[in-house]
Amino acid sequence: MIVRPARILIVNRGEIAIRVARAVRELGHIAVGLWTDNEPGAAHLAYCDEWVHLEGHGHAETYLNISRLIELARRHDITAVHPGYGFLAENDGFAEALDREGLVFVGPNARAIRMMGDKAVSKRVARQAGVPTIPGSLGAVADLAEALAIAGEIAYPVLLKAVAGGGGRGMRICRDAREVEANFEAVQREARAAFGNGDLLVEKYIVNPRHVEVQILADKAGNVRHLFERECSIQRRHQKIIEEAPSPFIGDNEPLRLDICATAVKLARAVGYDSAGTVEFVMGEDRSYYFLEMNTRIQVEHPITEEITGIDLVACMIQAALGQPVDAPPQEAITHRGHAIECRICAEDPVTLAPTPGTVTGLATAFPQGTRFDHCLYEGLEVTPDFDPMVGKLVTRGMSRAVAVRKMHAALDGLAITGLVTNIPLHKQILADGAFIAGKYSTDFIEARRPQDGIQTQADLETIYRQLASIEAANMGL
């Protein structure tokens, strides 16, 4: 067990680096941030106690450069390293390398990362642990012929999926044999280029699927807890943009909720999990659910779970890594209260969904009670194509789903970002959609309901001006 204060290096940037730095300092530790030539004035630095220069250009020389990060950690007398999400967060080699140097990785043990990092291996581990998995190939398929044979057995539609995939990439739905033939090589190529591994799985595409995931919190003393579920079915390009907790699809079906949460705990135990992590499932129309993958890191949408359980996941993750007891009660005392929603605020065209780099010229907020905004925005921030387009996460909480949705409408109205095209108008359209309001939506929501078609750019500009005027009025106390 390490006593405080520990010097914790945050090898990430953007909103998650800020979130981590705040937790580190709140716990009485020292937050050491990294700055790069690409982003010398990054927002997260203001939240750190110390700053270290990470030289180099591009991700490979900076945030993905294991040897340089370890050298910096040694030079600056670091105790523990927090990876955030993305970059090296799910790299077992990094966790192992830190271990060898006597440095603490703020995440799970390297073996658990390795077992869950490959979608073919994790599926096999899940099946062995008695967790339902999606029908399909047992491991990577050898070639197109095998893919076609398996697709024929499990029946169409099927999904071609990269075993090393992540961030929604390396995936293609195929409705018949012709589509498998047409897509197989392209997905292989894409996977090889993006993840350095062209191996593919073939699995049944669950029709009208809901994405339901369970938050795990484990520690080094062998306690494995769940913090209930989140639903993340509002996606574009297989990437989440709105998440909520609890899941409206599970609703008040308490036996189903407890069953899926217990299944996630079973898997976490089977892999010797010892940190915060998420077990993702896809749930079919009949509410049968199947294991998708386990994300062995803190997740983008962790705040909604924090809002309904009152547990600080990032703080607990740091405590767990340092071998300390975590600030969470035993399982039977963990409860959830009310409802929370998160909208991912991205520098993204609300209609085409394409990234929209730009420079922030102004930020004004006037939020209702029950709002949390985790972000890395400031006047002058340049959003470049070098990093993920997500610049903030707007979270609202209410005693019921209806209240949380109502508050989200008000929060979106109270968020004015100028100089940057964002997806805020898209969020407003989604929130106003009847299917969303009813909580009856699946992952094809954006494609099926096309909320972007309702966006009128000129009208939105006028909304922004009205918003700015009302924010100014609010700030003047009118």
Binding mask 278-297 for Mg ion (x = CB under 5 A): --x-----------------
Q: Tell me if 308 sits within 8 A of 335, measured CB to CB.
A: no
Q: Which amino acid is at 229?
A: E
How would you classify the pairing of strands 382-383 and 358-359?
antiparallel
First to last CA, the chain: 53
Nearest-approach distance from CB 148 to ligand ADP, in angstroms? 17
Q: For tokens 């197989």, what's the residue?
A: 184
Q: Tell me if 33 sits within 8 A of 48, measured CB to CB.
A: yes
Is residue 443 at the binding interface for ligand ADP, with CB under 6 A as the rule?
yes
Output 47 or 249, the one with its CB closest to Mg ion. Answer: 249
Is residue 208 at the binding interface for ligand ADP, with CB under 6 A as the rule?
no
Output 14 or 414, the one with its CB closest to ligand ADP. Answer: 14
Q: Which of residues 123-152 bind ligand ADP (CB under 6 A)?
A: 134
Is residue 167 at the binding interface for ligand ADP, with CB under 6 A as the rule?
yes
Q: Which of residues 264-283 bind ligand ADP (CB under 6 A)?
A: 280, 282
Nearest-approach distance from CB 199 to ligand ADP, in angstroms? 14
d(CA 203, CA 347): 33
Nearest-approach distance from CB 91 to Mg ion, in angstroms? 17
Binds ligand ADP (CB under 6 A): choice among 190, 293, 348, 413: 293
Binding mask 394-433 for ligand ADP (x = CB under 6 A): ----------------------------------------
Q: Tell me if 89 sits within 8 A of 107, measured CB to CB.
A: yes
Report the chain's C-alpha Rg in angstroms.
22
Output 238 or 336, the one with its CB closest to ligand ADP. Answer: 238
236 catalytic, yes or no? Answer: no
Binds ligand ADP (CB under 6 A): choice among 36, 109, 235, 422: 235
The DSSP H or E segment spanning 254 is helix 254-270
Partner that binds at residue 5, options Mg ion, ligand ADP, none, CB closer than 5 to 8 Å by kind: none
Q: Tell me if 414 sits within 8 A of 367, measured CB to CB.
A: yes
Output 82 or 161, the one with its CB closest to Mg ion. Answer: 161
Q: Which residues pair with 343 in a beta bridge?
A: 242, 394
d(CA 200, CA 148): 12
Nearest-approach distance from CB 456 to ligand ADP, in angstroms? 29
Q: Tell me if 204 sits within 8 A of 223, measured CB to CB.
A: no
Output 192 or 406, the one with its CB closest to ligand ADP. Answer: 192
Q: Which of residues 55-74 bind ligand ADP (CB under 6 A)?
A: none
d(CA 34, CA 13): 8
Partner that binds at residue 276, options ligand ADP, Mg ion, none, CB closer than 5 to 8 Å by kind: none
Nearest-approach distance from CB 389 to ligand ADP, in angstroms? 9
Buried/exposed code over 387-406 (b: 16+ C-beta within 10 A; e: otherwise): bbbbbbbbbbbbeebeebbb
Q: Tell me if 439 sits within 8 A of 251, measured CB to CB.
A: yes
3-class state of residue 219 by DSSP = coil
CA angle, 345 as apex, 159 and 249 as ends, to 5°? Answer: 50
Binding mask 262-281 for Mg ion (x = CB under 5 A): ------------------x-
How would you classify the pairing of strands 210-218 and 239-245?
unpaired
Q: Which two tokens stand for residue 219?
A: 């520690």
Choice among 7, 297, 344, 401 that is catalytic: 297
d(CA 460, CA 450): 17
Interacting span for ligand ADP (CB under 6 A) from 37-45, 70-78, 93-101, 166-174: 166-174
Is residue 247 at the binding interface for ligand ADP, with CB under 6 A as the rule?
no
Is residue 246 at the binding interface for ligand ADP, with CB under 6 A as the rule?
no
Nearest-approach distance from CB 169 to Mg ion, in angstroms? 11
d(CA 272, CA 287): 28
Kindly list the residues in this chain that would bind Mg ion in the complex (CB under 5 A): 280
Residues marked as catalytic: 297
Per CB under 6 A, residues contacting ligand ADP are: 85-86, 134, 159, 165-168, 203-206, 209, 211, 235, 238-240, 280, 282, 292-293, 295, 299-300, 388, 443
